[in-house]
Chain A
Amino acid sequence: MSRSRTAMLQRIREAIAGTPEPAPVPRDYRHTGDHPPGSPAVVELLVDRLVDYRADVRVLAPDELPAAVADALRPSGSVVLADDAPAELVDAASASTTQLIVDRRSAPLSAADLDHIDAVLTTAAVAIAVTGTIVLNAGPGQGRRAITLVPDRHLVVLRADQIVETVPEAIARLEESDTRPLTMISGPSATSDIELSRVEGVHGPRTLIVLIVR
């Protein structure tokens, strides 16, 4: 290994030599919320946060999903799905007039291909109510990171039981993701770089639509 590696580790060891053992980390912060995952209060909190980020949100019964998906896709000429998307989502998307494109891991679409696709339809791994965050962990129905990034509309379908109240609850669930890439999404892309005034929609999808199935 490199000379700098040896030198740096040596310098660090000398720098911290004689440091007393630091105190154990106090973890007196909230680990769980006031309400169980998926409870109406948690769903309501997530909706409130997402609306605050100017995402479009709908809470619906399972039998309302196909119509809601078709509805959300109507403005889009084309939509991309992961090759392991659940059948009910594929069926719902097929029912719309939108052109359906599947991103196959064996023959992935290029960034240029994705740039010509209007929307993406995915599931998610976890959602955090208190921060309005949706987490993708490359699990079934979520696809490669690129498909949720390049198209301009992202339609996410969440099950209520995937919604937890606090950040620690979500991190605990995500530990199972092992080393798969994670993307945490809290509203559409945004910037506050010009005079601290928030503008939604810069490089990532400018429209985020969340359908929550009770």
Chain B
Amino acid sequence: MTTFLGIPRRSRPSGHGMGHNGLPDSPLRGHTSFPDAARSAVGNTQLRRNLGNATATIRAKRAAVVGELDDWEALRDAGSAVKQQVMARLPELLEQLEAQVTARGGVVHWAADADEANRIVAGLVENSLQPGDAREAVKVKSMATQEIGLNEYLEERGIEAFETDLAELIVQLGGDTPSHILVPAIHRNRSEIREIFLREMPDAPADLSDEPRRLAMAAREHLRRKFLSAKVAISGANFAIAETGTLAVVESEGNGRMCLTLPETLITVMGIEKLLPTFADLEVFLQLLPRSSTGERMNPYTSLWTGVTPGDGPQNFHLVLLDNGRTNALADEVGRAALHCIRCSACLNVCPVYERAGGHAYGSVYPGPIGAVLTPQLTGIDGHDDPNASLPYASSLCGACFDACPVKIDIPSLLVELRGRVVDADRDRTIPGGWDAAMRAASWVMSSGKRFTAAEKAMKAGRVLAGKKHKISSLPPPLSAWTTSRDLPEPPRQTFHQRWRAEHGSSDDAPAPGGEPR
């Protein structure tokens, strides 16, 4: 069954592996729907504790540094407006960026999808290596390269990509997938990290403790030689300035500076939406991003570079501009709004659903509230069985994400819009789904006083079902659709209608439900 959910569809690269849901394996799509994946995640108490601690810490830090700026709302307004300008002027800005990067000695590549981007990067890495060089590249944490599954692609071709961000290293060594945009190993605690290091890092000291400082120093030693000898580095970009051709990477540890400075060749993969029109726009985004993201006034290191600087840093620079579903998203009003995202992850940290379910449940490298909007926009949706069709429902619509978003993306409204499209797509179905059938039945019952009274009487049976626990935990199908994921409270001894009758006399005085005369 294929139902168009009003979300743009895009063609799939051929020759890709298929997941067991009949859809291609993709870093943007899991194998199970959000409710199923979330159920098992929520059952993991260690995960819930790790996530609860981490998100509470970062929420408090963010709130404190955002509170320091009395012009925060003005900055958000500016950030939002700049991003609207970027979307409206995207072709000219991309061409301007390309011209500037090229004029400064860089090479710009255009990749329509993940496959093409991977092919370009693998080819560039191959060309940069001399015979006898280790077939490897160092990497700065990048959402774009995760989205295209670059590490796996390179590995298949015998090129090892070393993640150098501490959290990414933890994820990579643990054979794991990231669960947060900013802190990919947020689901791991210190003792789990110690075990991973001892198991997977040959040079880890035998007496390694689980103290964060000791763990960080072990990672420093482990990566130091890689940085000093690497010939090729691969990065993403936080911003690209169209006016000057300048790229920006925002980071904390210095692994970014190492990768952007020491190797001979630098390859940067960037989504086409990451542009800013002018250098001056940095004055807005370098305030919005660190405070929203790590909850710092400024992150420890920000590197900006333009093409190639003779005698300083990589002498070969390649910029790969990635589409991979973005032009489809751009054509849709929901998708376009989601493309404003600067990947700060503030919406994840404030989301009650993310805090409990964690990032893996979303099945995409983009988890959390923005992921629930962005992921289905990038992949398109293939009917109800597509796990990504469940993502717009992975929210309580509490609105915390909208308040936290530094570029004012109205995520709750976008989710409601996507849900509405799911319902609209169902309206024309000849065989009604369970939800439709239930709504029609309820409407039939409620439109007649007699039927409503009869239904009220029938509800008493529910008190028997509820038993001593005073709640109903399982019902036969189709009602099981409700009770598999939640308990039904015991029906009250008396309904309001019955109580009114008991206290105010005959049923003739009672307001007639549905207004139908008896």
Chain A residues close to B by CB (< 8 Å) = 1-2, 4-5, 7-9, 11-16, 19, 21-31, 49, 53, 105, 108, 111-112, 115, 128, 130-133, 138, 144-146, 149-150, 167-168, 170-172, 174-175, 179-197, 199, 201-205
Query: Closest residue of chain A to B57, judged by CB?
Result: A196
**Known interface pairs A181-B313, A186-B299; A12-B185 also in contact (CB < 8 Å):** no
B165 within 8 A of A: yes
CB distance from A183 to the nearest CB of B (A): 6
**Known interface pairs A4-B110, A12-B90, A23-B84; A195-B165 also in contact (CB < 8 Å):** no
Q: Are A49 and B297 in contact (CB under 8 A)?
A: yes
| Chain B residues within 8 Å of A53, by CB | 300
**Known interface pairs A26-B77, A29-B284; A190-B252 also in contact (CB < 8 Å):** yes
B424 within 8 A of A: no
| Chain A residues within 8 Å of B304, by CB | 181-184
| Chain A residues within 8 Å of B347, by CB | none
Query: Closest residue of chain A to B322, judged by CB?
Result: A8
Q: 1/0 contact trace for B467-502 toward A, CB 8 Å?
A: 000000000000000000000000000000000000
Q: Are A203 and B300 in contact (CB under 8 A)?
A: no
| Chain B residues within 8 Å of A128, by CB | 298
Query: Closest residue of chain B to A26, judged by CB?
Result: B77
Dominant secondary structure of chain B at its interface with chain A: helix
Contact of B327 among A12, A28, A174, A175 (CB under 8 A): A12
Q: Are A181 and B305 in contact (CB under 8 A)?
A: yes
Q: Are A193 and B300 in contact (CB under 8 A)?
A: no
**Known interface pairs A8-B110, A8-B327; A105-B311 also in contact (CB < 8 Å):** yes
Q: Are B53 and A13 in contact (CB under 8 A)?
A: no
Give the A-B contact count at a CB cut-off of 8 A. Answer: 249
| Chain B residues within 8 Å of A179, by CB | 104, 244-246, 306-307, 309
Query: Closest residue of chain A to B72, judged by CB?
Result: A29
Contact of A175 among B74, B85, B280 (CB under 8 A): B280
**Known interface pairs A181-B305, A193-B165, A193-B170; A131-B298 also in contact (CB < 8 Å):** yes
How far is B422's CA from A159's CA once the two chains are assembled, in angstroms? 61
Query: Closest residue of chain B to A112, judged by CB?
Result: B228
Q: 1/0 contact trace for B274-310 toward A, CB 8 Å?
A: 0000011011101100100010111111111111010
Within 8 A of A (CB), among B89-108: 90-91, 94-95, 104
Q: Which A-B residue pairs are the 7 nearest by beta carbons?
A: A204-B254, A203-B254, A179-B306, A15-B331, A131-B298, A189-B254, A11-B327
CB distance from B222 to the nearest CB of A (A): 11
Q: Are A186 and B296 in contact (CB under 8 A)?
A: yes
B454 within 8 A of A: no
| Chain A residues within 8 Å of B164, by CB | 203
B255 within 8 A of A: yes
Query: Closest residue of chain A to B84, judged by CB?
Result: A22
| Chain B residues within 8 Å of A13, by CB | 91
Q: Are A7 and B300 in contact (CB under 8 A)?
A: no
How far is B258's CA from A53's CA once the two chains are assembled, in angstroms? 21
CB distance from B190 to the nearest CB of A (A): 6
**Known interface pairs A12-B90, A28-B74, A183-B301; A194-B212 also in contact (CB < 8 Å):** yes
B42 within 8 A of A: no
How far is B228's CA from A194's CA once the two chains are assembled, in angstroms? 25
How far is B180's CA from A203's CA once the two chains are assembled, in angstroms? 22
CB distance from B121 to the nearest CB of A (A): 14
How far is B181's CA from A99's CA once the two chains are assembled, in angstroms? 44
How far is B250's CA from A185's CA once the two chains are assembled, in angstroms? 11
How far is B228's CA from A145's CA once the two chains are assembled, in angstroms? 14
Q: Are B90 and A16 in contact (CB under 8 A)?
A: yes
| Chain A residues within 8 Å of B219, by CB | 202
CB distance from B119 to the nearest CB of A (A): 11
Contact of B216 among A183, A191, A204 (CB under 8 A): A191
Query: Closest residue of chain B to A183, judged by CB?
Result: B303
Contact of B257 among A22, A167, A174, A203 (CB under 8 A): A203
| Chain B residues within 8 Å of A172, by CB | 280, 283
B453 within 8 A of A: no
B58 within 8 A of A: yes
Q: Are A186 and B84 in contact (CB under 8 A)?
A: no
B397 within 8 A of A: no
B240 within 8 A of A: no
Query: Closest residue of chain B to A105, judged by CB?
Result: B311
Contact of B298 among A11, A14, A133, A193 (CB under 8 A): A133
Q: Are B255 and A203 in contact (CB under 8 A)?
A: yes
How far is B307's CA from A99's CA once the two chains are assembled, in angstroms? 35
Query: Closest residue of chain A to B87, judged by CB?
Result: A16
Q: Are A204 and B301 in contact (CB under 8 A)?
A: yes
CB distance from B334 to the nearest CB of A (A): 13
**Known interface pairs A186-B297, A203-B223; A194-B262 also in contact (CB < 8 Å):** no
18 chain-A/chain-B pairs, Cβ below 8 angstroms: A12-B91, A25-B78, A27-B74, A28-B78, A30-B71, A115-B228, A144-B312, A170-B283, A171-B286, A180-B306, A182-B302, A186-B299, A195-B53, A195-B54, A199-B212, A202-B252, A202-B254, A203-B253
B323 within 8 A of A: yes
Contact of B286 among A132, A167, A201 (CB under 8 A): A167
| Chain B residues within 8 Å of A188, by CB | 300
| Chain B residues within 8 Å of A22, by CB | 81, 84-85, 87-88
How far is B261's CA from A138's CA once the two chains are assembled, in angstroms? 13
| Chain B residues within 8 Å of A23, by CB | 81, 84
Q: Are B77 and A8 in contact (CB under 8 A)?
A: no
| Chain B residues within 8 Å of A181, by CB | 303-306, 309, 312-313
| Chain B residues within 8 Å of A168, by CB | 280, 283
Q: Are B283 and A167 in contact (CB under 8 A)?
A: yes
Query: Closest residue of chain A to B70, judged by CB?
Result: A30
B337 within 8 A of A: no
How far is B279's CA from A172's CA once the two chains are assembled, in angstroms? 9
How far is B463's CA from A181's CA once the two chains are assembled, in angstroms? 72
| Chain B residues within 8 Å of A25, by CB | 78, 81-82, 85
| Chain A residues within 8 Å of B220, by CB | 201-203
**Known interface pairs A13-B91, A195-B50; A204-B257 also in contact (CB < 8 Å):** yes
Q: 1/0 contact trace for B189-231 toward A, CB 8 Å?
A: 1100100000000000000000011011001100110011000
CB distance from A130 to the nearest CB of B (A): 7
Q: Are A199 and B213 in contact (CB under 8 A)?
A: yes
